Amino acid sequence: MPSHASLPGFRDFYPADLAVRTHIQNAWREAARRHAFEEYDGPPLEALELYTEKSGDEIVGQLYNFEDKGGRAVALRPEMTPTLARMVGARAGALRKPIRWFSMPQLFRYERTQRGRLREHFQWNVDVLGESDIGADAEVLATGLDALALLGLSDSDIVARFNDRRLVDRLLQLSGVAAGQRPAAYAAVDKLTREPRERTRERLTSAGIGDESASRVLDLFELKSLTQVRDHFGDEAVAGEVTRLEAYAAQLEALGHGRAIAFDPGIVRGLAYYTGTVFEIFDRAGALRAICGGGRYDRLLGAIGGSDLPAVGFGMGDVVLAELLAERKLLPPLEPSLDYFIIAVTEAQQDMQLRIATRLRAAGHSVAYSFRSQSVGKQFKEANARGARRVVVLGPDEVARGMVVVREMSSGSERRVGMDEIE
């Protein structure tokens, strides 16, 4: 029979790989629980128009899309926000506001695979809907940072770089960039950290932005603090936008994340639907792609789902995060482990073997045993391979007296206990 490899950009999750994914998702779910978010999910297959309405027809080239047997144009979900908008729009009047929801979908995009980017991944989506106060923005980012802390990542490992689209829009205006040129300016600036400065200049000038204005735009991104923004443009010109971001940073400080955040004027999130605060979380060394990205998108739900609610949220993928955890040696032990392995010395003890296994499992322990009659040596070898912490040996003499031998595998010490005393 021929062997078949998995499709390019897709992963097989062998037990050790799935253990990593589960470890990450457990932290995501626990952080969401601590911040009072409720879990939801939706179908992996949606109508194609749900995505073209949000991102235009150009997104089709990045999708796994086809016509189903009913003649409908459909696509595997590349992101969760359109599904969220559709679901909330269907029941908006009945949902308590603010809505605090999270999900962990598997997402699919047909694009070039590279480090940190595959054609499928699992993503943690956290959103607050129906609340415009800056407190919701801070709460969302704090939830993401708390999950990373649960995984062992501290502010020495990661940094959340934040900005606000309203501030960027104001700074571009003050730099002489016309309103019609700003979408192109956002797209150019979004690539500033990934390509040479002169290439960004070319992108700006090709959008019709003059050389002088392009230079001013590039100079904006040398400003490294909100105080420098005030000093550069004058307090009166930017007071409203800067004050809002200062309040955002102050709330994150109060939530325990002051050392994990940094203002960065280069964070603009090139997608057009962002309307306010934006952020991306990176490893401090800058060796990997962004771990997480998000922000405020107040007009998107109305455009897609017909429910005009302010919204803020993020998506955090498992691929880059798993790489970072591996680099920091923060992944859990991946060897198999087991509470008990039960050895029957002869076939006569196999019935008792099953009874003891059943009782220990009912008490919450993980238990295994050999399915066939084997030598004691082979059974001990299997117990060791499965990472058993304790081995229960059922020998003829011990069983006749209602006793068993329990061996602690780490130390090799043994003790005889009554059958009913194993726990």
Read off the pTM: 0.90
Domain map (residue ranges) of the chain: 15-43+79-327, 338-421
Contacts of residue 323, Cβ cutoff 8 Å, sequence gap at least 6: 115, 116, 288
The whole-number pLDDT of residue 271 equals 67
Q: How confident is the model at residue 270 (pLDDT cuts 50, 70, 90)?
A: low
C-beta of residue 29 within 8 angstroms of C-beta of residue 39: yes
Cα separation, 142 vs 122, whole angstroms: 20
Please give the structure tokens belonging to residue 95: 């949902």
C-beta of residue 162 within 8 angstroms of C-beta of residue 263: yes
- What radius of gyration do the chain's Cα atoms show? 28
Phi and psi (nearest 5°) for 160?
Answer: -100, 110
CATH topology of domain 338-421: Rossmann fold (3.40.50)
423 against 271, higher pLDDT: 423
User: Does domain 15-43+79-327 correspond to CATH entry 3.30.930.10?
Assistant: yes
The whole-number pLDDT of residue 362 equals 96
The whole-number pLDDT of residue 387 equals 94
Local structure of residue 368 (DSSP, 8 states): E
Q: How many CA atoms lie within 13 A of 304 on its CB side?
A: 28
Helix (H) or strand (E) run with residue 199 in it: helix 197-206
Q: How confident is the model at residue 328 (pLDDT cuts 50, 70, 90)?
A: very high
Q: Is the peptide bond before 333 cis (omega within 30 degrees of 0)?
A: no
Beta-ladder partners of 39 = 102
Cα separation, 249 vs 16, whole angstroms: 39
Cα separation, 96 vs 92, whole angstroms: 8
Q: How many CA atoms lie within 13 A of 105 on its CB side?
A: 23
Q: What is the mean pLDDT of residues 138-156?
A: 98
**Pick from 303, 310, 302: which is nearest to 127 by CA?**
310
* Helices and strands in the chain: count of H runs, count of E runs: 15, 17
Q: Give the range among 60-64, 178-182, 274-278, 400-404 with minimum mean pLDDT.
A: 178-182
What percent of the chain is modeled with pLDDT above 90? 72
b/e map of 101-130 (b: 16 or more CB within 10 Å)?
bbbbbebbbeeeeeebebbbbbbbbbbbbb
- pLDDT greater than 60 at residue 1: no
The whole-number pLDDT of residue 94 equals 94
Q: For the segment 87-130, what is each residue's pLDDT rounded down to a tens digit? A: 999 998 899 999 999 999 999 999 888 887 899 999 999 999 99
